[in-house]
Amino acid sequence: MPEPLSTHRTGAVLRLRLERPELHNAFDAGLIALLTDALAAAAADAQVRVVVLEGAGASFSAGADLNWMRGMAAASEAANREDALALARLMRTLDELPKPTIARVHGAAFGGGVGLVACCDIAIGVPEAKFGLTESRLGLLPAVISPYVVAAIGPRQARRWFATAEVFDAAQALRIGLLHEVVPADALDAAVERQLSLLLKAGPLAAAAAKSLVRGVLATGDRDALDAANATLIAKLRVSPEGQEGLSAFLDKRPPHWTA
């Protein structure tokens, strides 16, 4: 049986591909563990600067594997809690990964698949892609992925889509903020490559710190503390080797060394 997750690194770019096309890349406990471990390894690998998340076959990810869900329905509440915590660890690992991430959404994303898209820093899809937070049809809710989906689309939109379980298209996903860009299928790889090119021109430490900066701004209610933290961050970056190189390269009108 083929592995449900493949990894491929080209230079500084790591591609993680969900490899369960016959199940529309639905995930079970095994795939959740594999993807979590792969992301943790990417976080610790200094050679990896960007991660692309994609799916094999017709879909990006259909969310939870129905057979897996059927088995969990027969398990205890405690077992279900541990199972849900494993999914929560995956989403948090992806959301807080200290490397920029791109979701390449070539097909449908439902349930937890929407969570994966929402956790990525950049999400690019095709017009044919469909999306749905369909848990309420099963008497459930997208609870574990909700922090990331709400952060992506906002509370007002989330209240609608969580309650109705309505399926929506890529144009709607773009309007509500789940996708950053929608391009024709034959232009999807070029659009991803453009973002990769931009990210690889940025300072590695700066790009890695971008999401933690945004998270800190949103979480801090004390403006004085926020100003102090941001001043400390920019001072640290300015005197760091990367900051010094970036400023010198700009003034010398040459590319910084990390673009080599």
Report helix, strand or coil for 166.
Answer: coil
Is pLDDT of 260 > 80?
no
Tell me which residue of 250, 164, 251 sits closest to 259, measured CA to CA: 250
Round to whole Å and give the CA distance between 192 and 103: 9
To which H or E segment does residue 54 belong? strand 50-55
Indicate whether 208 and 194 sit together in one domain: no
Indicate whether 62 and 125 sit together in one domain: yes
Indicate whether 139 and 226 sit together in one domain: no
Indicate whether 163 and 207 sit together in one domain: no
The residue that leads in pLDDT, 78 or 236, is 78
- CA 163, chain centre distance (Å): 23
Final residue before a domain boundary, out of 169, 199, 229: 199
Total domain count for the chain? 2
Residue 92 belongs to domain spanning: 5-199
Indicate whether 64 and 106 sit together in one domain: yes
Looking up residue 65, the CATH number of its domain turns out to be 3.90.226.10
Round to whole Å and give the CA distance between 194 and 75: 46
Which of 14-18, 34-38, 64-68, 84-88 has the least mean pLDDT? 64-68
Is pLDDT of 31 > 90?
yes
Indicate whether 134 and 158 sit together in one domain: yes
Indicate whether 9 and 115 sit together in one domain: yes
Is pLDDT of 1 > 70?
no
Indicate whether 73 and 105 sit together in one domain: yes
Query: Quick one: pLDDT at residue 251?
Result: 73
List the structure tokens of 259.
């673009």
Query: Quick one: pLDDT at residue 209?
Result: 87
pLDDT digit string, tens, across residues 244-256: 887 788 778 898 8
Residue 68: pLDDT band (50, 70, 90) is confident
Report helix, strand or coil for 29.
Answer: helix
Indicate whether 41 and 128 sit together in one domain: yes
Looking up residue 239, the CATH number of its domain turns out to be 1.10.12
Query: Quick one: pLDDT at residue 245?
Result: 84
Indicate whether 247 and 173 sit together in one domain: no
Is pLDDT of 226 > 70?
no
Mean of pLDDT over the chain: 91
Averaged pLDDT, 132-140: 90
Query: Quick one: pLDDT at residue 5?
Result: 98
Indicate whether 186 and 234 sit together in one domain: no
| Sheet with 130-132, edge to edge strand ranges | 109-110, 130-132, 167-169
Indicate whether 141 and 253 sit together in one domain: no
Tell me which residue of 118, 100, 102 sits closest to 63, measured CA to CA: 118
Is pLDDT of 184 > 90?
yes
Largest CA distance in the chain: 66
Report helix, strand or coil for 11.
Answer: coil
Q: pTM for the full model?
A: 0.91
Final residue before a domain boundary, out of 199, 219, 238: 199
Report helix, strand or coil for 143.
Answer: coil
Query: Quick one: pLDDT at residue 78?
Result: 85
Averaged pLDDT, 127-152: 93
Final residue before a domain boundary, out of 157, 180, 199: 199
